[in-house]
Structure formats: C-alpha cells, structure tokens
Structure 1
C-alpha cells in the first residue's frame, strides 16, 4: 500500500535549495550537530542531546553498510554531507554523494574540504532516478531518509541495482506506514507530504517487495520507531523556540504548518521508522 501526494508543487529541489520553509532548517541545523535526520535514543531514560542521537543513527547505518577498505560508496540523497563525512572519518572508503539540490552540493563540498576529505569525497548534482554512472560503478550504497522524496522509488531501486556491483550492500533508513490507516492518519500523511516535499509513503511489505523485485536479497529489517519517536517533538520544540525569527514576509502560516507537521510524525500512530539492509544478487 502506498499513499501520499503526487502534487508537483512538492518540488524537492526547491525545498532543499532554500525556498519556502526550508530556511527554518538552516537556523536549527547547528543544534542538531549538523544533521537534520532522526535521532536514536536507547530508551525513555536516555537523555542524549540531539547531536549525539543523530550521530548514533548514522553509526547504525554505517554498521548496516559494513564498508570495507577501498570500497566506493554511493550516498543517495546526500544532503549537506554530514553523514558521509562521519562514514569517511571512520572507514578508508571513497564516496560519491548525489542530490537534486545545488545548494546542498555546494555545502557538502565545502564541508568535505574543511574536514580534509575532498580527496575521498565527491558530491554531484544528479537525479537518483537517472543516475549518471556506468553499470557496476559502486561497491555499496545507502539512502538515509531520502527515498520518501523520490517520485518513483522503484525506479531509484532499479538504478541503484544497475550501478552497484554484484554482492554489494545497500542500507536504507526510511519511514513506513502501518496499516490500516485512519481518516485522521490519512490527513496527517497529506499534510506531511505537502509540507516536506514528500512524494509518498508505503507499507513495509510493499517496500521489501520492491527491493526483492530489483534483485536485493538477505533483507534485514529493524523497526526502530520507538527509538526515533522523540525526534519530532524535539525538532518542533526547537523550531517553535525561534518562531519569531522565522516569520518573515507574512509567512507565519507556513512556519506554523511546518511545526505542526513535524509534531505529527511523532503523534500519528500510522508512521513507523525502519532500517533496512540488503545484498544485491
């Protein structure tokens, strides 16, 4: 089951290039250690700050990827390159990150240069549904909270399988839907898609079926919904704390919609969050 918005106004490139509510992200990112993905908390008593919790999630992705020295890794939807830098600092691999945001490419390249990683990191403007790479170009790939943005996830998985070499690893962190979906849950899905440039969400069964149909095997799924659930509340609180700084040119409704939609990720029981690893046949 897949639900969501196909409205082309949900332009992911514009969202991440800095138009509309994404300006909020730049004002909050430093509080989250340079990340804007979910954090991981061990339990309710874990009081780790967001910058620690978000790095933990990156570390879990690295663990699933199991990178080997000298491998070439594809980062699908690389953002500004903070998770990529953490991977490169921990393992002697090379990495190519792709995004459809020119702004993110520039920031990722700058960050890699400042960290002394430019010799092993390249960031490119590219569409994940039409990757500009030859077949069998990479030894591993990951997609950290990026696949829910793409108009056609099956096409991205097909492209990923094409550019990966046989027996390569793929690691994914993404939202999934738990069914059945209530009317209130459907309204929340629609609002989140509209606010965050999301194309669609699907059930875990549909997700794993797509992976299998494109040649990925040995699937390992970890449901960490409870461990990441705090993210929406903390992020919404952070944005609300600087709301007055974010409101400009009559955009108060836009800012409030982002804060509300962020909280809905936590309060909507139909949303789950999983880590998936697989091996290409």
Structure 2
C-alpha cells in the first residue's frame, strides 16, 4: 500500500526555513517531540527530547564504523548524538538548504565533521548506490514526504540486506471526531503535510517494501505533552511569529497547537524494522 502525501519539497523547506526557525528558537537544538515516562515525570524538554533520541538510537542498534542514513535530518542534533554515542558515520539529507548548512556547521563545532555530513537531497529520489548503508532512520520527517511508500522503497534500495530501519512519526489515530478532524486538517494545512499515516498503513507499506521483524509502539501518551509545551514557548515569541504570518494567523497557530495536544486523534509512533 502506498502512503501518499504532498507537498512538494519546496513547501517543506519553506515551513522549516520560516516558522520552523521561530519554533526551534524556543525549543532548543533537539527540535523533536519529547518522551516522558508518565504524568509525574517532570523532566525538562532537553532531557525528554534526548530520551526519545536515545530510544531511536537503541532501536537502530547501529554498530561502530557502520554507515547510517538520516532521512530528513533537520538541523542535525539527533544525527550528531547518534554519531557520538554509537561511533557510526552518518549521512543526513534534507530539502532545506538552511538546515543542511546549520547541520554541517553544528557537526564542525562538535568536532564530528569526519563522522557526520549533511546534504541537500530528495528522499524520494536519492543518488546513493544500492546497498550503500548499514542502517537508516527517519525522525519525524515521513509525514512531510509526498509519497511515503516511495521513500520506504528508496530506503530499502540503499540499505544492505539485514540493515536496520527506525522511524518516529506523528500519526492519525481513529476513530476521528469532527473536532479531531479539524485539528488534523489544520496540521496538514499549516505544516506542509497532506495527511497523517496510521499504524496499519505503516505495517502494509513496510511489508510491501520487503521489511521484516517490524515492531511498532504507539507512544502517544508519553509524547503528548510536547505540543502544549511548544505552544508555551512559541507564545513567548508571538511578536516574531506575527511579523512572519500576521497576528490572526499567529494566534491561530498557537491555539491549534494546544488543541492538538489534547486531541486523541493526533498520535505518535516509534518503529523498527529490518530489510529482508
């Protein structure tokens, strides 16, 4: 089954080069969801986001010296943590020239330029040779892909047999109420996403592309705090956001972030699989 999405890569870059820079300035270098053990867990954003990154690193189980593909690398913070922790060589790809530059600068500053490099590449049409990577991950990037099935096919092509794949992604959980649909539609309209996939769609698409030993965890309850905390942060930068999108749109974006945090239809998964 093909999990289809649109926009064009340029639309994704526009989001992250625009409002994404404001969001990132309020959130910190690890611009991803966080993971909290339970409602009593008072871990900081920095701890919670690094915890989720470490879960991805553990699931990937990459070995020192291996070559890992980071699909949708963003500003590179998780990739650098992976390179440092696992001793691997990471190649990150993005459709944002701004993020590629930031990621390469961060790698140089961290003394990891020989282990982590980042380049402008479309995940649906990669120039890498077949079987050229030992592992791959996609950390909250798949929901931006025009055709996620095609991306999984490309990942399967560049992975060697037995190569590991890890994905963290925002998903849709049903049944969807009218209020929930409004929130999900807002996410799609404002963050360069056409639709959110489901766990069942992921299972079918992974199988269709030759992945086996698939393990999927719905960790929505552990990650749901993220959006509300991000709304708090973005609200402190309201004037900058309003300069970019207008006051009415800025207020709407923050309001919908809070609504998304409370919507049970907005979910989050983490998965691992192996190329058969």
Structure 2 segments unaligned to the other structure (5+ residues): none
1:30-86 residue CA offsets vs partner (Å, 9 max, x unmatched): 3xxx11210000111111110110000000000000011111000000000000111
Moved more, 93-102 or 246-255: 246-255
Equivalent residue in structure 2 for 1:233, among 228, 231, 241:
228
- Please give the residue correspondences for 1:54-203 in structure 2 after superposition, counting only pairs within 5 Å: 54-203=49-198
Structure 1 segments unaligned to the other structure (5+ residues): none
RMSD: 2.0
How far residue 14 of structure 1 moved from its aligned partner, in angstroms, is: 1.4
1:130-173 residue CA offsets vs partner (Å, 9 max, x unmatched): 01101011000000100000010000000000000000000000
SS at match of 1:184: helix
Equivalent residue in structure 2 for 1:41, among 33, 36, 45:
36
Which residue of 2 is the match for residue 22 of structure 1? 20
Moved more, 191-200 or 225-234: 191-200
Equivalent residue in structure 2 for 1:276, among 257, 262, 271:
271
- Residues 5 and 148 of structure 2 are in contact (CA less than 8 Å); yes or no, is this contact kept in structure 1? no
- Residues 30 and 49 of structure 2 are in contact (CA less than 8 Å); yes or no, is this contact kept in structure 1? yes
SS at match of 1:175: strand
Equivalent pairs, count = 276
Counterparts of 1:50 and 1:62 in 2: how far apart (Å)? 18
- Please give the residue correspondences for 1:244-255 in structure 2 after superposition, counting only pairs within 5 Å: 244-248=239-243, 251-255=246-250
Counterparts of 2:121 and 2:9 in 1: how far apart (Å)? 20
- Residues 236 and 262 of structure 1 are in contact (CA less than 8 Å); yes or no, is this contact kept in structure 2? yes
Shift of the 183–5 alpha-carbon distance from structure 1 to 2, 3 Å rule, reads farther
How far residue 8 of structure 1 moved from its aligned partner, in angstroms, is: 5.9
Shift of the 9–186 alpha-carbon distance from structure 1 to 2, 3 Å rule, reads farther
User: Which segments of structure 1 move beyond 4 Å, counting only runs of 4 or more?
Assistant: 1-10
Counterparts of 2:141 and 2:152 in 1: how far apart (Å)? 12
How far residue 246 of structure 1 moved from its aligned partner, in angstroms, is: 3.1
SS at match of 1:56: helix
Shift of the 253–222 alpha-carbon distance from structure 1 to 2, 3 Å rule, reads same
